[in-house]
Structures are given as structure tokens and as C-alpha cells.
Structure 1
Amino acid sequence: MQEVPYGEVFLINKPLEWTSFDVVKKVRNALKIKKVGHAGTLDPLATGLLIVCAGKMTKQIEGFMGQEKEYEGTFVLGETTESFDLEKPVEFVADASEIKLEDVKRAAAELTGNILQIPPMHSAIKVDGKRVYESARKGLEVKMEPRPVEVREFEILSYQDREVKFRISCSKGTYIRSLARDLGEILEVGAYMSSLCRTRIGDFKLSQAKELLPLIEEIKARKANENL
């Protein structure tokens, strides 16, 4: 009887400060197979749902990546950073004390729907065969062309003390850090993203995800039992 090829999909809550590749590497080492990949990068300073595919299920990665994403997080007004998140030092831009909730909602509405978005310089996009973040870290400017994306929902959950709590549903390729930059530009006070959590990919929800380290222990225990 022919053995059925192994394939599995893991829903993982990516820990803060881990890269998506760090998570893949951890799963790969626990499974002791080479064919492991993730379906959509999360920045190190973001948390939330990461889909990791192993074995024959790696063929499904493109399908997962194309599905709508949902995020929750926080933007801070009046300041910005070179990377539009906390990877780089925070710099004062303008006094945001006069900005009201209605102003923030109006700016968010301008960034809702089918829009053209310029990706951040500190991103993994390739231009002329090189990752743009590599050029950015060397202080080199790279011309980034606007890309069409869809922001289906940009809901402002709360606004207090310059902090904008939001929920965003968007298409593949949308950069939430770029939305922070653009929101700050519309309001003319600057902004950066202080936290981000991916809560959904298609029909998969963060509530279904497992914490990484307990999952790794579970995989190792399963592999040990298979070898008995």
C-alpha cells in the first residue's frame, strides 16, 4: 500500500519580535522536513495569525496569500519614524492636540476602497532584484511605484491622547504602515504604527491559532511517538 504524502496546515499566533521566517524555521526543525513555508509575512513588531504550510500543503500557499486580511492595531499621531513603525526612532512632526475623532474618521474614509499605495522603504518588496529594506538600511533611496490595493474597511475603534485604535480589512499586498503614513499626511501631523495584530486571513481566525512554543512541543511529542 502506497503511503499518502504528508501535508499539514498550522495556524500560529506569531510572537512579538519573531520574524515570519523564524517561525517557519522552528516548525521545520520540529517536523524534520524541508518543505515548510508561510502564507504572508508579518513584520517582527507585529503579532497575530500566521499560516504555516508543511509538506504537500505548501502548494496551497499562494491561495492562502491571496485571501483578504484583517488587522487591529494602534497608530500614534503627531510623530513618525523612518519605517512608520517602532523599528526606527520616533521623531516629532506636529502638535496633534487639535485633531478630533471626526477628523480621523474623515481621513480614514479617504483611505478606504480601491486606492494606490506606495509601500514603505523598510519592506521586503524587491526592486531591481534587491529587497528594498536592504537598500534602506544602507541609506540608499529606492523609487517605489504606487500599487493598487483594496481597503475594504477602515474602522476607527477609538481615538484618545493621539492614539488611534483601528480595525482594517484589506487585500493582499496592503501595507498597514503605509496607511499610518498616509493618515498622518492627510491630517498634516504625521503618524506611525505602534502596534499591529493580524486577526484574520480569509475564513481563518486568530482565535483558532495556537501559541508557537506549545505547538512546537506538541509536534516534537508527536514525532517521538511516531518513532516508537
Structure 2
Amino acid sequence: MQEEPYGEVFLIDKPYQWTSFDVVKKVRNALKIKKVGHAGTLDPLATGLLIVCAGKKTKSIDSYMAQEKEYTGTFILGKTSESFDLEKEVTDVSDPSDITFDLVKSAVAQLTGDILQIPPMHSAIKVDGKRVYESARKGIEVKMEARPVTVSEFEITSFENPEVQFRIVCSKGTYIRSLARDLGEILGVGAYMSALRRTRIGDFSLNEASQLTDLIEKIKARQDENL
């Protein structure tokens, strides 16, 4: 009897400062197969749920990527950076001490629902066949078009000026760093994202995810048993 082609889905809590491809490469090397990919990039400075598909399950990547995402994290008011996170140097914009919780809630309301969003220059989007972050790193300005996205929930879980803690539920293609930029622009003081964690993709929860080191050990142990 012929065996079914191998296919598996891994839920991983992506480590801080790892790229999504770093995680894929680690899983690929452990599995010793070529067909491994992830369903939705997380920036190196973000952590949280990363879906990695192997074998025949790579055919499901697009369907996982299309599902809504949930994030938690922190915005800092009064400062910004070229990348709208900690990847680039943070600089002062304006004193945010007069910003109240009501002003933040009002700004958040403007960024909730079906909105048009301009992706950050330091992103993996392709324009004219090139990743825009590659152009950004060379100091080349690329015109970014606004794209429709849906922010179905934008909850402020805590506000201690200048720190804004949030929970966001959004559609595929939404950049949380761009929401930081837009929040800072609406409030007139600038803002950047200092922390981000993806907690859900569709029905998949971060609570179900494995630490990468634990997962690799399990894969290797399983392969040793099959030798």
C-alpha cells in the first residue's frame, strides 16, 4: 500500500529578532525536505504566531494567509522612526503630554473599519518587481499606493502617556506599523511601534503554538525513531 504524501502544519511562537524565513529554514533543515513555507510574514522585531506548512500542506498557505489576524502591542507617542518601529533610529517629533485618552480613542475610531492604508517603505511589498525595503535601504524613494484594508477591532487596552497598549483585529495586508504612523499623524505628535505580538490567525491561536527550540527537538526525536 502506497503511503500518503507527507504534509504537516506547525504553529510556532516566532522568536524576537528572527525573520520568518529564519524559522522556515530551521524547520526545513530539521525535516530534511525542501517544501516548507510560512503563511504570513512577521517582522524580525515582532513575535507571536507563525504558521509553517510542510510538504503537501504548502498548498494551504494562501488560504491561511487570507484569514484575519489579531495582534497585541505597544505604540509610543511623541517620537517616530523611518520604519515606524525600532528597526531604525527613533527621533523626537512633539511633546505628547497634552494627549488625553479621549483624544487617542477619537483617533483610533478614525483608523477602525474599512480604511485606505499606505504600507511602510520598510516592508516586503514589491513595486516594479523589487522589494520596497531594498530600495529604502539604498535611500531610494518609492511611491507607495494606498490599499484598502479592514481593521475590525482596534482596542486600547491601556494608556499611560506616552505608551499606548493595544489589541487589533484586522484583514490580510494590514500593517500595524502604518497604524502607528497614522495614529501619530492624527494626534499631531508622531508615534512608532515599540512591540508587536501576533496572537491569532483565523481559528489558530498563539496558545496552541510551540516554542521553536521545543519543536525542532520533537522533529529530530521523531526522525531518530524512524531510522
Unaligned runs of 5+ in 1: none
Alignment partner, residue 24 of structure 2: 24
Aligned to 2:220: 220
Query: Is 1:112–2:126 an aligned residue pair?
Result: no
In structure 2, C-alpha distance between the alignment counterparts of 1:204 and 1:24, rounded to whole Å: 18
The answer for the alignment partner of 2:197 in structure 1 is 197
Aligned partners of 1:104 and 1:133: how far apart in 2? 30
User: Quick one: distance in 2 between partners of 1:226 and 1:63?
Assistant: 31
Contact 2:12 2:48 in 1 (8 A): yes
Structure 2 residue aligned with 1:86: 86
Same amino acid, percent of matched pairs? 76
Give the alignment of 1:4-83 within 5 angstroms.
4-83=4-83
Cα distance in 2 for residues equivalent to 1:158 and 1:25: 37
Query: 1:211 matched to which residue of 2?
Result: 211
* Alignment of structure 1 residues 158-177 onto 2, 5 Å: 158-177=158-177
Letter aligned with residue 6 of structure 1: Y
* Count of residue pairs brought into register by the alignment: 227
Give the distance between the partners of 2:145 and 2:54, measured in 1 at CA.
34
1:3 positional shift: 1.1
Q: Distance in 2 between matches of 1:35 and 1:65?
A: 17
CA distance in 2, matches of 1:187, 1:212: 39
CA distance in 2 between partners of 1:114 and 1:130 (Å): 28
Per the normalisation by structure 2, the TM-score is 1.00
* TM-aligned CA deviation for residue 75 of structure 1: 0.1
Cα distance between partner residues in 1 of 2:77 and 2:24: 34
Deviation at 1:161, TM superposition (A): 2.9
**Equivalent position SS for 2:200:** strand
Distance 1:201 1:161 in 2: 30
- Is the 8 Å Cα contact of residues 117 and 178 (structure 2) preserved in structure 1? yes
- Give, as a single letter, the amino acid of the residue that structure 1 aligns with 2:208: Q
Question: Structure 2: how far apart are the matches of 1:97 and 1:139?
Answer: 33
TM-score by length of 1: 0.99
Q: Counterpart of 1:102?
A: 102
Give distance in 2, aligned partners of 1:108 and 1:70. 16
Q: Aligned to 2:74, what secondary structure does the other structure show?
A: strand
Map Cα deviations across residues 82-139 of structure 1 (whole Å, 9 max, x no partner). Answer: 0000000110000000001111111000000000000000000000000000000000
Q: 2:14, 2:20 within 8 Å by CA — same for their partners in 1? A: yes
One-letter amino acid of the counterpart of residue 49, structure 1: L
In the other structure, the counterpart of 2:133 is 133
Separation in 1 of the partners of 2:218 and 2:173?
A: 32
